[in-house]
Chains A and B, each alone.
Chain A
Amino acid sequence: MANSKAAKTDVQTHKQVSVAEFFEKNRHLLGFNNPAKSLLTSVKEAVDNSLDACEENGILPSITIQLSEIKAGRFKMIVEDNGPGIPKKHLLSAFGKLLYGSKFQTNGGKQGRGQQGIGISSVILYGQLTTGKPAVLISKTKKDDQAHMYVMHIDVKKNEPEIVSDEPFDWSDKPCGIRVAVEMEAKYVEHKQSVLEYIKQTAIVNPHAEITYISPSGDRLDFPRVTDKLPVKSRLIKPHPKGVELGVFKRMLKATSARTIKSFFTKEFDKVGGGTANEIITIANSSIEDGNKTLPEAKRLKLIDGKFSPKYITPDQVEALLLGMQNAKVSRPSLDCLSPIGGGLLRKSLESEFDLDFVHTITRSATVYRGNPFQIEVGIGYGGELDVDGAIKLIRFANKVPLLYQEGACALTQSIKKNNWKPYGLSQSSGSFPTGPAVIVIHMASVWVPFTSESKEAVSGYPEITKEVKLAIQECARSLQRFIGRKRRSEIEAKKREIFKAYSKEVAQAVTSLNEADAYKLTKDQIEKKSLDTLKKLNKIAESMYSTGADIEALEETVEVLEEQEEKAAKQEVEEKQLESEREEEEELMEEEK
């Protein structure tokens, strides 16, 4: 007995250590690398959860995010939504997937934000470990129901969340929703990878959401709803044989309720019927036979029969089956399971977030990489108040979640850099971002976004994906080029008019004076009067000149000439001002001397 008690304590201690330790060891993978990123990750988890929940339940999301600084290095995050709320009996399961995000999912997939998450429970754990305080949750599920306020914490001994207290809460003005409040060690920053930037980008890609942000300094920012139309619901689909990897396949074999291997294939996979299942098994068997030829009889593998139980498939047979899955003829997966933003809405979002002169968006048709359906959307905005001299702004999204880190490692970024932008009217030194007043949005929607690492901030460069991105970028760029071309042309035309107009009077008078005998006898006014007819005719010639379009090269030349002249005029103005101020200084000095 003593022994078994000691063993039990050991297990408990071990468990207790392991949760805290596991978190400490893996916080960089979970998005809690440092206080600044931890705050961002926490907001992201809460907001992504809210958006997903609203979308599932056909509710137009209204989300409020409030950050306040409790004391130096400690912040309180409150995220409130108008989602369906969570009934008490589901509270634990909703928060129960501790450190077990849906990234470990096995049974097929569905486009969702949660795929990138690590679970709100991690946020609660992080807050608890850094401040010792529990999280506070308010939930209301129906209009006439009583709202509850729960105080929750993670029991590190049991490795499970626990409701510490449950009190009724007066939320009568709200039909339903959830409010999460967590205190945590954090740092507030306002740069590229910040909470504010995340919220801005989230607003762009969720035009149906209304988001309010109250910053630690109390500033309130509203991101209004751009559309009342809910996005198309994404659909859960079974995995496609070509998209399944070894580990997942093994887990599926273990978990399935199918009694035979053949029914396992037809039941658990998308687009697999009896014929296809047979083909997979046949290919697997012929590869086993090939392998057997080089082996002594005793070591030869057994061929697979479709009637075998999935539970008794040997590791060698598993590999053979995977080969069969890769090589069998399977129709491409269902593509209607995705939920893109849509070109029109993306355009509206861009226009509402940025002040732009031009926007072009494109949603490519859904297609497949390694058995996974995916869809690429690209939007490009130009002009307005965007920075003219700096690099363009790139905003990346995966399943409507902004990707703020690891820009360089991302295939979406690489596609922008590899594209040659010069012919499209943006300047670029090869292999880097183009420069100019442009913003580019790239969204990848997929049941399974292939991230380069567990931190889920960069998309891998599968050839099918980069090809789609490239085509989308180029279509947007072509449209941008037409816009820039028209803009430049009209700018040049306007400048030309200006120039001719300015010089015409001088030319008319000089020509008149040259044409007059004894021009010196005329007063300035007389010459001006006499030159009016010539001036009128010059203007007439000018008008006929504008209508004949000059070729691009000539226009470029013109622009150079104009820019030179402008530069010269600007320089002169500066010099004159300098001289003037010097003169003034001198005068002041002289007066002082007096």
Chain B
Amino acid sequence: MAELTKKEIVKRLHDLGVDLKKNVDDLKDPHITIPLRTLANAYFDKKDRMIKLGERTQTRTFFNVGQSKKFMQTALVASQIKQLLEQDKPAISTRQLYYILKHSIEGTKENTFDDQATESDPVIEDVEVTINALREQLGLEATPSGVISGPLKYEDLKTDDIIDCSKMGSAGAAIPPNTEPHVVKFKECKADFILVVEKFAVWNLLNQSKFWKKHNCILMTGKGQAARSDRRLVSRLAKEYKIPVYVFADNDAYGYYIYSVYKQGSINLAFFSEKAACPDAKFIGLKTGDIKKFDIAKSNWIKLEGHDLKRLKEISKYEWFQSKEWQAELQAMKDFGYKVESDALVSKSIEFMADTYLPRVIKEKNWLD
């Protein structure tokens, strides 16, 4: 995906309007062709090692009672985005867009939108794939959650501030909602690698023990499932500075999946993978074999429950978990019947994670790819 100009995006939206107008003028049921964002249309590109969106599309028409409302919503979102872009207004959140568009429909008791998560957000994603532009480029921003610290300086082009991520104290630097090059311009990055941790508590401990200074790395967390801008930032740093990415996530099916989203992308945002995936990222969290190897006390193991096993079964079927190593690990976890959280390493000693576990795993390359 080449860098899109705002003008080009406005043109694509305008073209959509021209097509729809032509449908109506021809007295035909107006329709929008939207690439499908389902598992069935996501595929794993083995060459690029990431999840991509397939060729399948859906046709959304107005005169179909089942699609009628969604069609109206799609038209409303597209026309609002176009107007915002034309005016050069500051980017707004998806929630704010929801509020701009929510109103009661004349002559009914219905609203155009009643819920952000189930109605406006999916329609926004539909517009993204239809126009083939990211929401960050459409002037929309999701609420970020990520925090970063380490030897990185960047310029925020929205405010013209220089941010030095090595001087952000114990709180770290908040990752901005938009990390596209037209907002975040990297100035300098001296790190040797990026350490992505799943949980804020783990990031907090490592940041306080000055892990990033000792090991000259960038330390970030997306606080669980990472937001788009967090993933985009990690991906850009890895690509532009050619440094490895290590993901320190929990020893359970959910941790493994969070790692895979950083590495290969997600099904729902398959169209975003090329921008946000880090195909070379390694998993450096606890593996089932490590539990005995590092002598984690049995009192700290957690028995796998039904939902753990179900998720385990699901991810073992994903194409991007088909390597021999991963299949062996997933099988081992199932056989072992227990999982261990990263936090449990603290039970060895407060320093164990920073001083022993992480350096040793990275040095020994005892990771999963």
Interface status of B214 (Cβ within 8 A of chain A): no
A506 touches B29 (CB 8 A): no
Pick from B30, B65, B68, B109: contact of A511, CB below 8 A.
B30
Scan residues 481-526 of chain A and give those whose CB is less than 8 A from a CB of chain B. Answer: 495-496, 498-503, 505-507, 509-520
Residues in B neighbouring A506, C-beta threshold 8 A: 72, 75-76, 105, 112
Pick from B14, B20, B29, B65: contact of A561, CB below 8 A.
B65
The CB with the most chain A CB atoms within 10 A, among B13, B14, B79, is that of B79
Residues in B neighbouring A534, C-beta threshold 8 A: 21, 24
Contacts A506-B105, A519-B86, A537-B25 hold; do A513 and B62 have CB atoms under 8 A apart?
no
Residues in A neighbouring B62, C-beta threshold 8 A: 500, 503, 507, 538
Scan residues 80-102 of chain B and give those whose CB is less than 8 A from a CB of chain A. Answer: 82-83, 86-87
Pick from B63, B83, B86, B109: contact of A569, CB below 8 A.
B109
Contacts A502-B105, A513-B83, A514-B79 hold; do A507 and B30 have CB atoms under 8 A apart?
yes
- Name B66's closest neighbour in chain A (CB-CB): A561
B65 touches A514 (CB 8 A): no
The CB with the most chain B CB atoms within 10 A, among A507, A518, A541, A562, is that of A507
- Name A516's closest neighbour in chain B (CB-CB): B17
Residues in B neighbouring A505, C-beta threshold 8 A: 105-106
Give a binary string over A112-141; 1 marks a CB under 8 Å from any B CB, 0 the rest: 000000000000000000000000000000
The CB with the most chain B CB atoms within 10 A, among A500, A513, A517, A557, is that of A513
Scan residues 1-47 of chain B and give those whose CB is less than 8 A from a CB of chain A. Answer: 13-14, 16-18, 20-21, 24-25, 27-30
Scan residues 539-579 of chain A and give those whose CB is less than 8 A from a CB of chain B. Answer: 540-542, 544-545, 557-558, 561-562, 565, 568-569, 572-573
Give a binary string over B108-125; 1 marks a CB under 8 Å from any A CB, 0 the rest: 111010100000000000
Give a binary string over B146-166; 1 marks a CB under 8 Å from any A CB, 0 the rest: 000000000000000000000
A507 touches B27 (CB 8 A): no
Residues in A neighbouring B30, C-beta threshold 8 A: 507, 511, 538
Main secondary structure of the interface of B (DSSP, over half): helix
Residues in B neighbouring A517, C-beta threshold 8 A: 14
A510 touches B27 (CB 8 A): no
A503 touches B24 (CB 8 A): no
Pick from A498, A513, A542: contact of B82, CB below 8 A.
A513
- Name A492's closest neighbour in chain B (CB-CB): B65
A510 touches B75 (CB 8 A): yes
Residues in B neighbouring A573, C-beta threshold 8 A: 109
Contacts A502-B106, A507-B62 hold; do A515 and B17 have CB atoms under 8 A apart?
yes
Residues in A neighbouring B105, C-beta threshold 8 A: 502-503, 505-506
Q: Shortest Cβ distance from A523 into chain B, in angstroms? A: 12
A502 touches B108 (CB 8 A): yes
B63 touches A545 (CB 8 A): yes
Cα–Cα distance between A545 and B28 once the two chains are bound (Å): 10
B28 touches A520 (CB 8 A): no
Q: Shortest Cβ distance from B9 into chain A, in angstroms? A: 13
Cα–Cα distance between A46 and B79 once the two chains are bound (Å): 80
B82 touches A500 (CB 8 A): no
A572 touches B114 (CB 8 A): yes
Interface status of B107 (Cβ within 8 A of chain A): yes
B107 touches A510 (CB 8 A): no
Residues in A neighbouring B17, C-beta threshold 8 A: 511-516
Residues in B neighbouring A496, C-beta threshold 8 A: 65
Q: Shortest Cβ distance from B13 into chain A, in angstroms? A: 6
Q: Shortest Cβ distance from A475 into chain B, in angstroms? A: 34
- Name A511's closest neighbour in chain B (CB-CB): B20
Contacts A507-B75, A573-B109 hold; do A514 and B63 have CB atoms under 8 A apart?
no
Cα–Cα distance between A495 and B68 once the two chains are bound (Å): 12
Q: Shortest Cβ distance from A548 into chain B, in angstroms? A: 10
Interface status of B212 (Cβ within 8 A of chain A): no
Cα–Cα distance between A562 and B64 once the two chains are bound (Å): 12
Q: Shortest Cβ distance from A498 into chain B, in angstroms? A: 8
Q: Shortest Cβ distance from A533 into chain B, in angstroms? A: 9
- Name A565's closest neighbour in chain B (CB-CB): B110
Q: Shortest Cβ distance from B98 into chain A, in angstroms? A: 15
Scan residues 154-198 of chain A and give those whose CB is less than 8 A from a CB of chain B. Answer: none
Q: Shortest Cβ distance from A537 into chain B, in angstroms? A: 5
Cα–Cα distance between A381 and B67 once the two chains are bound (Å): 37
Interface status of B69 (Cβ within 8 A of chain A): yes
Pick from A518, A540, A565, A568: contact of B27, CB below 8 A.
A540
Residues in A neighbouring B107, C-beta threshold 8 A: 501-502
Interface status of B261 (Cβ within 8 A of chain A): no
Residues in A neighbouring B21, C-beta threshold 8 A: 511-512, 514-515, 534
Q: Shortest Cβ distance from B114 into chain A, in angstroms? A: 7
Q: Shortest Cβ distance from B224 into chain A, in angstroms? A: 30
- Name A534's closest neighbour in chain B (CB-CB): B24
Interface status of B71 (Cβ within 8 A of chain A): yes
Residues in B neighbouring A540, C-beta threshold 8 A: 27
Contacts A514-B16, A541-B27, A572-B114 hold; do A520 and B75 have CB atoms under 8 A apart?
no
- Name A495's closest neighbour in chain B (CB-CB): B65
Interface status of B237 (Cβ within 8 A of chain A): no
Residues in B neighbouring A514, C-beta threshold 8 A: 13-14, 16-17, 20-21, 75, 78-79, 82
B25 touches A503 (CB 8 A): no
Cα–Cα distance between A545 and B29 once the two chains are bound (Å): 9
Cα–Cα distance between A223 and B153 once the two chains are bound (Å): 94
Scan residues 255-287 of chain B and give those whose CB is less than 8 A from a CB of chain A. Answer: none
B79 touches A499 (CB 8 A): no
The CB with the most chain A CB atoms within 10 A, among B18, B25, B68, B87, is that of B68
Cα–Cα distance between A519 and B30 once the two chains are bound (Å): 20
Q: Shortest Cβ distance from A167 into chain B, in angstroms? A: 73
Q: Shortest Cβ distance from A286 into chain B, in angstroms? A: 75
Cα–Cα distance between A496 and B64 once the two chains are bound (Å): 9
Cα–Cα distance between A506 and B62 once the two chains are bound (Å): 11
B63 touches A541 (CB 8 A): yes
Residues in A neighbouring B63, C-beta threshold 8 A: 500, 541-542, 545
Cα–Cα distance between A495 and B69 once the two chains are bound (Å): 14
B78 touches A537 (CB 8 A): no
Q: Shortest Cβ distance from B279 into chain A, in angstroms? A: 37
B66 touches A503 (CB 8 A): no
Residues in A neighbouring B86, C-beta threshold 8 A: 518-520
Cα–Cα distance between A452 and B184 once the two chains are bound (Å): 91
Cα–Cα distance between A512 and B24 once the two chains are bound (Å): 11
Pick from A499, A511, A561: contact of B75, CB below 8 A.
A511
Residues in A neighbouring B106, C-beta threshold 8 A: 502, 505
The 8 closest A-B pairs by CB, nearest first: A514-B17, A510-B75, A515-B17, A513-B79, A510-B79, A558-B65, A520-B83, A503-B72
Task: Please name 15 pairs of A and B residues whose Cβ atoms are closer than 8 Å in the assembled complex, sorted by A.
Answer: A499-B68, A500-B68, A502-B107, A505-B106, A506-B112, A511-B30, A514-B78, A519-B83, A520-B87, A537-B27, A538-B30, A541-B27, A541-B29, A557-B65, A565-B69
Q: A503-B72, A511-B17, A519-B79 are in contact. List 12 more A-B contacts (CB 8 A).
A: A495-B65, A498-B108, A500-B62, A503-B71, A511-B20, A511-B79, A514-B75, A515-B18, A515-B20, A519-B86, A558-B66, A572-B114
